[in-house]
Amino acid sequence: MSFVGGPVESINIAGRTFAVAGDADVNVKLGGSENDVQPNGNGTGRVLKTRIPSSITGLTVAIDPDNGDHEFLQAVADGTDEVPTTITYADGTPYSGAMIITGELSYSTANAVASFDMMGSGKLVKQ
């Protein structure tokens, strides 16, 4: 079996699909738990679990001004609810969950792309 890496193919946010820039270094956290181990005085240990949200960072997507893509993304960021989101990896594998745009949403007119991150309170699940 070969392992396939490469740029994310696309992301669908609230029903609208965006092509992801080929040079975007996207990082994905599925959500769930992060663990830490704390020692006890008798040499045993305790596992401390911290819940973490799902996240997609480093997104850079193609923007079509005639389609209102920038305004659409801003409306998602302005909203108060997580929206259905599906990210499709280079090998065609999709992961879905509910997410919202977090941090700065920035549009580059020179490159016709927007950069942003997303987070969700649940997990991203392989479809």
pLDDT, tens digit, 9 for 90 and up, residues 55-111: 999 999 999 999 999 999 999 999 999 999 999 999 999 999 999 999 999 999 999
Tokens linked to 70: 């920038």
| Amino acid in the structure at residue 9 | E
CB 116 within 8 A of CB 103: yes
> Can you tell me the distance from the alpha carbon of 61 to that of 113, in angstroms, rounded to the nearest whole number?
5
Dihedral over Cα of 75, 14, 8, 49: its sign: positive
What is the end-to-end Cα distance of the chain in Å, rounded? 20
Give the global pTM: 0.90
Encode pLDDT of 33-47 as tens digits. Answer: 999 999 999 999 999
Report, as an integer, the average pLDDT of 5-9: 90
Q: What is the pLDDT of residue 58?
A: 97
